[in-house]
């Protein structure tokens, strides 16, 4: 480990501390020791002239598939993809095979991450045993082992009484309960329910399947009162969900939410050629939903942007639209996609964007990350905001290629990713 | 040849005109013609079908092609040999045209993207069944001369019907007014954005119809229970002899088969003077010969 690392002349953006200016960042023994004009001779200096220097980015929603589907991704390959994408911390979803649902499982993820030595890997645990929505999993043990939240992601907890118990029980440990909002009572589909699904003859997932569960959960949070209950709505995708979040936040409820890149860039019409790379859950919706999500982001109602990086094998994505699995692998290009959807469209400024990738998600999961405050871990991402490049899935470090952005020309290139004061990714020397 | 949504009016008419020529072959004592000699047609059927498969086999046979039959009930497994693996294996054997029937919507489109042989959709999921749509149109055109201005009712489970979708695209392109009839629980989402009108009452629209196409109630495809009982469905939407009193004298009664006698249509109507159900089957052969012939011709031009 470098004992001293100085990043000079960059545009330092640290939203949590209200910093946006041409400054230097000094990291000593893996911790941030100064942000300002630093006149000190150190062994390693990085010149960041013309670049953005941000707290290390956080993606609080990724699928690294380990254990169980190592052919699609491992914690090691996922971590390598993460640092290439500028992410110094990620949160794995527990829908592995078997699911992450015990203290031992959580420790297993942490061990694999230590061996990979790339990015900080956190994990959420399952809310219920086997993600079956019936009995609570051992949330207490998992919290003690370092799980940063709970979710049955891939499925919503259908039974309201189980969800109420999960929220109550999790409040003992001051840990967030995250929900994949989808009431399967509305029927099981493979794309948005609407005109496109009618023409294609595919079963639809109604917007109400998402919104009715979100509405229900917000009522549960309200019933439990302020206390320590923390609820997080994962990958919201509809205008109605944005409205529910707005109302809940106005009422001061402890409710947070996240939005993915693909829900800001694609509509259901992308499915018209049965291209399974556009098969995601929640499904791609309508233009009006994109507009509503962007409005919510610009109003500050959204806490985090996430990739929902969901790697799948080519042979599985080559199946019929009906049977192919849900998901897009986009961790390595995620940042540029947010730039395209939000900066280029004037929804956010750079500071606003970086907030949703640093202190925003750090606050949701309650970790000591996402800022350059003195004494914090030296996690830094250096970005060239103007550099253009073409997304090429063949250069991915991820094991999977199910990425509909292949060939896109985008802006905002990650130059260096520094984790705990150590350069873990540097563009060019791969 | 994946669906009628992709075809324009002149292409549809060209297929129908070609089919007219082939219809005559069936009346000759030697019922064979040589245009597909030396070509291999694979019937790739991942879902039960008797009528369509036999019709395609016979059509290919009459055009002197060699036919491979591949029939397998596909379970929705995601591991093991996939649908594409199977098709690629067949292609490696030198197949020229693949006729595919599949439970999943879009399967034929997936296939056409992935293999170089010509792909003919013989019915996929709830999306399209283009040769059925063409033979329906062919049958109407033959009797009524033109579809322009005709009022055509399609009755039943629209949501789960690939026949309905092919009919809607083809018939509306040829100038017919398509009226979908059935309970709202059997209509697809946003049906009002399709080029059709919708009625929940058969009795309200029956007297104005020139053609009525009674879809089969597909008990195996409907999730949940979109109507409370078969008896109640028949009460509102069954084409009974009594109901037929209200219809025009020269209304054409169609059905894509197989018929659930006494459910969507009573025997006396199915076998009655207005029924063209067997005519449809007969025309299906000519239409499928035309499709195979034209697909082969298009491939030859491209090569």
B147 and B123 belong to one structural domain: no
How do residues B225-261 score in pLDDT, each as one tens digit? 788 888 999 999 999 999 999 999 999 999 998 999 9
> C-alpha dihedral over B142, B145, B148, B154, to 10 degrees?
-30
Give the model's pLDDT for residue B47: 87
Cα distances (angstroms) measured from residue A297 to each of A218, A235, A278, A310, A350: 19, 13, 23, 23, 13
**Of B125, B99, B79, which is closest to residue B221 (Cα–Cα)?**
B125
B294 and B229 belong to one structural domain: no
B152 and B73 belong to one structural domain: no
Q: Which residues fall within 8 angstroms of residue B42, CB to CB, at 6 or more apart?
A: B67, B68, B70, B90, B95, B97, B98, B99, B117
Instruction: Answer whether A272 touches B (CB < 8 Å).
Output: no
How do residues A10-29 score in pLDDT, each as one tens digit? 999 999 999 999 999 999 99
- Residue in this structure with the two tokens 């249509």, named with its chain if needed: B265
Cα torsion A188, A192, A198, A199: sign: negative
Residues from chain B contacting residue A195 (CB–CB below 8 Å): 189-190, 193
Residue A78 in this model has a pLDDT that exceeds 70? yes
CA-nearest residue of chain B to A194?
B189
Of B104, B106, B191, the CB nearest to A198: B191
| Confidence band, pLDDT 50/70/90 cuts, at residue B78 | very low
Residue B220 in this model has a pLDDT that exceeds 90? no
Q: What is the arithmetic mean of pLDDT over A213-238?
A: 94
User: How far is A171 from A165, CA to CA, in rounded Å?
Assistant: 10
User: How far is A389 from B196, CA to CA, in rounded Å?
Assistant: 46
Cis geometry, peptide bond prior to residue B258 (ω within 30 degrees of 0) = yes
Q: Domains in chain B: how many in total?
A: 2
Mean pLDDT (chain B, rounded): 92
Give the model's pLDDT for residue A161: 96
CATH number at B134 reads 3.40.50.1370
Give the model's pLDDT for residue A430: 63
B34 and B74 belong to one structural domain: yes
Measured between CA atoms, how close is A369 to chain B, in angstroms? 40
Residue A2 in this model has a pLDDT that exceeds 60? no
How do residues A319-359 score in pLDDT, each as one tens digit? 999 999 999 999 999 999 999 999 999 999 999 999 999 99
Reduce the DSSP state of residue B266 to 3 states and report it.
coil
Q: What is the arithmetic mean of pLDDT over A392-398?
A: 97
Measured between CA atoms, how close is B75 to chain A, in angstroms? 10
Give the model's pLDDT for residue A225: 83
Instruction: Answer whether A193 touches B (CB < 8 Å).
Output: yes
CA-nearest residue of chain B to A189?
B223
Instruction: Answer whether B83 touches A (CB < 8 Å).
Output: yes
B162 and B68 belong to one structural domain: no
Q: What is the arithmetic mean of pLDDT over A294-315?
A: 97
Instruction: Answer whether B109 touches A (CB < 8 Å).
Output: yes
Instruction: Answer whether B169 touches A (CB < 8 Å).
Output: no
Give the model's pLDDT for residue A81: 98
User: Do the Cβ atoms of A322 and B82 come within 8 Å?
Assistant: no
Residue B174 in this model has a pLDDT that exceeds 70? yes
User: Do the Cβ atoms of B189 and A194 come within 8 Å?
Assistant: yes
| Confidence band, pLDDT 50/70/90 cuts, at residue B223 | low
Residue A164 in this model has a pLDDT that exceeds 70? yes
Residue A244 in this model has a pLDDT that exceeds 90? yes
Give catalytic residue positions of A: 308
Give the model's pLDDT for residue B86: 84
Give the model's pLDDT for residue A234: 98
User: How far is A80 from A398, CA to CA, in rounded Å?
Assistant: 7
B275 and B153 belong to one structural domain: yes
Q: State how beta strands A31-36 and A44-47 pair.
A: unpaired
B267 and B285 belong to one structural domain: no
Q: What is the arithmetic mean of pLDDT over B12-27?
A: 93
User: Do the Cβ atoms of B105 and A324 come within 8 Å?
Assistant: no
B124 and B64 belong to one structural domain: yes
Give helix A239-250 / helix A287-298 axis angle, nearest 10°. Answer: 20
**Of A9, A86, A5, A14, which is closest to residue A48 (Cα–Cα)?**
A9
Residues from chain B contacting residue A319 (CB–CB below 8 Å): 78, 82-84
* Rg of chain A over all Cα atoms, to the nearest angstrom: 20
Residue A56 in this model has a pLDDT that exceeds 60? yes
B234 and B258 belong to one structural domain: yes
Q: Residue B153: give the domain boundaries.
A: 130-280
Listed ranges A170-174, A381-385, B47-51; the one with the highest mean pLDDT? A381-385
User: Do the Cβ atoms of A201 and B126 come within 8 Å?
Assistant: yes
User: Do the Cβ atoms of B82 and A198 come within 8 Å?
Assistant: no
Selected residue of B84, B110, B129 to mutate for chain A interface (largest A Cβ count, 10 A)? B110
Mean pLDDT (chain A, rounded): 96
Instruction: Answer whether A97 touches B (CB < 8 Å).
Output: no
Q: What is the arithmetic mean of pLDDT over B48-69?
A: 94
Cis geometry, peptide bond prior to residue A282 (ω within 30 degrees of 0) = yes
B183 and B246 belong to one structural domain: yes
Q: Which two tokens stand for residue A420?
A: 């705990």
Residue A191: beta bridge partners?
A: A204
Q: Which domains does chain A have, with CATH numbers?
A: 4-53+377-429 (2.30.40.10), 56-365 (3.20.20.140)
B167 and B253 belong to one structural domain: yes
Distance of CA B64 to the CA centre of its chain: 24
Q: How many helices (H) and strands (E) does chain A have?
A: 13, 18
Reduce the DSSP state of residue A388 to 3 states and report it.
strand
Cα distances (angstroms) measured from residue A238 to each of A61, A234, A296, B184: 18, 12, 11, 25
Instruction: Answer whether B80 touches A (CB < 8 Å).
Output: no
B182 and B55 belong to one structural domain: no
Q: Which residues fall within 8 angstroms of residue A120, CB to CB, at 6 or more apart?
A: A88, A89, A90, A113, A369, A379, A419
Residue B266 in this model has a pLDDT that exceeds 70? yes
Residue B75 in this model has a pLDDT that exceeds 50? no
Instruction: Answer whether B243 touches A (CB < 8 Å).
Output: no
Helix (H) or strand (E) holding B101: strand B97-102
């Amino acid at each position: 480990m470098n004992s001293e690392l100085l990043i000079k002349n960059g545009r330092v953006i640290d939203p949590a501390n209200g910093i946006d200016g041409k400054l230097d960042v000094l990291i000593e023994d893996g911790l941030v020791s100064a942000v300002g004009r630093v006149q000190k001779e150190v062994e390693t200096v990085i010149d960041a002239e013309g670049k953005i220097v941000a707290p290390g980015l956080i993606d609080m929603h990724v699928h690294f598939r380990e254990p169980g589907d190592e052919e699609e991704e491992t914690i090691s390959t996922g971590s390598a993809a993460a640092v290439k994408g500028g992410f110094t911390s990620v949160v794995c979803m527990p829908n592995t095979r078997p699911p992450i649902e015990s203290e031992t499982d959580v420790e297993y993820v942490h061990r694999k991450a230590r061996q990979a030595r790339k990015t900080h890997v956190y994990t959420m645990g399952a809310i219920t045993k086997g993600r079956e929505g019936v009995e609570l999993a051992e949330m207490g043990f998992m919290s003690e082992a370092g799980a940063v939240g709970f979710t049955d992601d891939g499925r919503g907890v259908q039974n309201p009484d189980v969800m109420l118990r999960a929220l109550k029980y999790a409040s003992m440990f001051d840990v967030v309960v995250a929900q994949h909002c989808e009431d399967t009572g509305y029927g099981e589909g493979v794309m948005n329910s609407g005109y496109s699904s009618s023409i294609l003859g595919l079963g639809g997932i109604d917007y109400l399947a998402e919104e009715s569960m979100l509405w229900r959960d917000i009522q549960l949070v309200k019933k439990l009162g302020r206390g320590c209950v923390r609820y997080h709505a994962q990958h919201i995708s509809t205008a109605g969900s944005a409205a529910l979040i707005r109302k809940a936040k106005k009422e001061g409820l402890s409710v947070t939410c996240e939005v993915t890149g693909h829900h800001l860039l694609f509509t259901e019409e992308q499915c018209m050629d049965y291209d399974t790379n556009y098969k995601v859950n929640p499904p791609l919706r309508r233009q009006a939903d994109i507009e509503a999500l962007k409005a919510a982001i610009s109003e500050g109602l959204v806490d985090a942007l996430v990739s929902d990086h969901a790697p799948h094998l080519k042979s599985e994505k080559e199946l019929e639209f009906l049977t192919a699995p849900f998901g897009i692998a986009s961790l390595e290009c995620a940042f540029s996609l947010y730039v395209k959807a939000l900066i280029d469209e004037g929804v956010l400024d750079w500071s606003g964007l970086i907030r949703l990738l640093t202190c925003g998600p750090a606050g949701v999961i309650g970790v000591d990350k996402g800022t350059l405050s003195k004494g914090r871990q030296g996690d830094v991402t250096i970005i060239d905001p103007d550099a253009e490049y073409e997304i090429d899935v063949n250069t991915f470090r991820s094991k999977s290629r199910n990425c509909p952005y292949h060939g896109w020309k985008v802006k905002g290139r990650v130059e260096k990713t520094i984790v705990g004061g150590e350069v873990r990714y540097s563009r060019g020397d791969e | 040849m994946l669906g009628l949504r992709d075809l324009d009016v002149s292409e549809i008419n060209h297929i129908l005109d070609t089919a007219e020529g082939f219809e005559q072959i069936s009346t000759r004592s030697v019922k064979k013609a040589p245009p597909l000699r030396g070509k291999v047609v694979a019937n790739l059927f991942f879902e039960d079908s008797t009528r369509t498969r036999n019709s395609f086999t016979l059509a290919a046979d009459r055009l002197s092609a060699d036919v491979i039959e591949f029939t397998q009930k596909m379970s929705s497994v995601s591991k093991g040999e996939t649908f594409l693996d199977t098709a690629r294996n067949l292609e490696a054997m030198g197949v020229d045209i693949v006729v595919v029937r599949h439970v999943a919507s879009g399967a034929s489109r997936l296939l056409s993207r992935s293999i170089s042989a010509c792909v003919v959709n013989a019915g996929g999921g709830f999306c399209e069944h283009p040769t059925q749509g063409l033979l329906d149109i062919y049958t109407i055109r033959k009797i009524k001369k033109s579809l322009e201005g005709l009022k055509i009712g399609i009755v039943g489970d629209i949501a789960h019907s690939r026949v309905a979708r092919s009919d809607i695209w083809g018939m509306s392109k040829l100038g017919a007014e398509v009226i979908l009839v059935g309970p709202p629980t059997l209509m697809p989402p946003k049906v009002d954005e399709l080029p059709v009108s919708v009625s929940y009452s058969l009795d309200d629209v029956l007297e104005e119809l020139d053609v009525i196409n009674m879809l089969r109630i597909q008990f195996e495809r409907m999730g949940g229970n979109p109507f409370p009982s078969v008896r109640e469905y028949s009460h509102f939407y069954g084409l009974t002899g009594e109901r037929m009193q209200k219809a025009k004298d020269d209304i054409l009664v169609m059905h894509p088969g197989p018929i659930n006698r006494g459910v969507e249509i009573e025997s006396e109507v199915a076998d009655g003077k207005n029924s063209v159900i067997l005519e449809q089957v007969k025309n299906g052969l000519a239409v499928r010969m035309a499709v195979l012939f034209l697909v082969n011709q298009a491939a030859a031009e491209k090569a």
